[in-house]
Each structure stands twice: as structure tokens, then as C-alpha cells.
Amino acid sequence: MSEADCFCSTGPKLIFACSGASDVGEIADQTAHKLTRESASRMYCLAEIGGRVASIVKTAKTAQSILAIDGCSQSCTRHCLELAGLKDFTHLQLGGLGMDKGLSPITDDAIGRAAAAARDLLSG
């Protein structure tokens, strides 16, 4: 991986997303994948943050910015980041977009709406 690929000189822009078993967890996960494919930011593994994998936590602490995407009001993504000592991040909770757990079909439209909201947050 080159320095340009890892954003080492400027710190990466990272996305951590819920990948829960619910519809909104799937929408959050697919939104993060979509943004990564579009090069808006880079999705990183939330389980590694929860497991306190030192190299991933270190990368997150040097990130230019972090976006946490949570599917439901449990806010597991936000909690995992905070428990790992990360406090400076932007948080998107899909309930704020009218997507409620168990009531939100996983559609291209839902993923698109979540991605648009995330892009707005990423752009500042």
C-alpha cells in the first residue's frame, strides 16, 4: 500500500458503521460500503475497535475525521468508539432520517438517503 493509499501524510477519513442484524444495521453497513466505493471516505472495521486492536485504534486516533453511522437508537457504533477513547467524531443515527428498526426496508433509496446525509456530514 502506498502512502497515498493509506492517507498517512494527512490522516485518513474513516467511517465506522453498525453492521447489526436489523434492517437499519444493514442500511448503515451498505451506506458505509457505498461511500467507500465512491472514495468519499474509507470504511474501517468496528469489531476491531470494539476488540481494541491496537493498530486500528491508533489509526483511528490519527484520522483526519471519523464518521460513525448507527442504525438504531442503541448507538453501538458511537459507544464502541467512545469506549476505545475516541471522542472527536461525527455521528449519524439513521432514526434521524426516519428509518426505524424493524420498519425500514433495505432499498437503494434508503441507502441513497443515508449516503447523502453522510456525505453532508463528511463535507463539514
Per-residue pLDDT of the chain (124 residues; tens, 9 = 90+): 344 444 445 778 999 999 989 999 999 999 999 999 998 799 999 999 999 999 999 999 999 999 999 999 999 999 999 999 999 999 999 999 999 999 999 999 999 999 999 999 998 7
pTM summary value: 0.90
- What CA dihedral angle connects 3, 60, 42 and 28, to 10 degrees? 170
Task: Give CA separation, 92 vs 59, 67, 113, in Å.
Answer: 21, 7, 12
| Identity of residue 13 | K
Phi, psi of 94 (to 5 degrees): -65, -20
